[in-house]
Structure 1
Amino acid sequence: MPKRILQGVVTSDANAQTVTVSVERRLKHPVLQKTIRKSKKYRAHDPNNAYKAGDAVRIIECAPYSKTKRWEVLEA
């Protein structure tokens, strides 16, 4: 099974070697047919502390680094 790759914006870089990435997806409401924006936050491994809040990054699935980290930053 291939690893998922998501694109989002870094919302927090307060922790060491960790960034919080907000990924937004758009979908159509089943009844109203209106476009809805849904977002979810992922914690990703950033070993060099290279990314700051506001940066657009791509993240990829990986083996668990900790209790909450299951993603790592692929590139900006």
Structure 2
Amino acid sequence: MKKRGMKRQLTGTIVSNKMDKTVVVQVERLVKHRLYQKYIRRRAKFAAHDEANVCQVGDKVMITESRPLSKTKRWRVSQILEKAV
């Protein structure tokens, strides 16, 4: 039996939960500009599977890479870190 590699985990904020069992998570990272050495915010959006439909817009969540679940979903919500107020 082969050992599987570590799954990627990212932390982000939910920006949409209008779909059934799916949320859109925006992940933000800081990248240093090569010439000017200033930090730039880079954002990426990921569709993630939310089995129980418990996530709300504004929640901070951790998502984990998984097998393809649909055309756009390749991530699962692994845990809710902080609920929105």
TM-score, normalised via structure 1 length: 0.98
| Structure 2: runs of 5+ lacking an equivalent | 81-85
- TM alignment of 1:26-65, pairs within 5 A: 26-65=30-69
Partner of 1:66: 70
| Structure 1: runs of 5+ lacking an equivalent | none
- Show CA shifts across 1:12-34 (max 9, x none): 00000000000000011000000
Q: Which has more radius of gyration? A: 2
Give the 4+ runs in structure 1 shifted more than 3 A: none
Partner of 1:75: 79
CA distance in 1, matches of 2:15, 2:76: 15
Between the two structures, name the one with larger relative contact order (CA 8 Å, sep ≥ 6). Answer: 1
- Show CA shifts across 1:30-67 (max 9, x none): 00000100000000000110101000000000011100
RMSD: 0.5
State whether structure 2 residue 24 is matched by structure 1 residue 20: yes
Partner of 2:13: 9
CA distance in 2, matches of 1:47, 1:2: 22
TM-score, normalised via structure 2 length: 0.88
Letter in 2 for 1:22: Q
- Give the share of equivalent positions with the same residue, in percent: 46
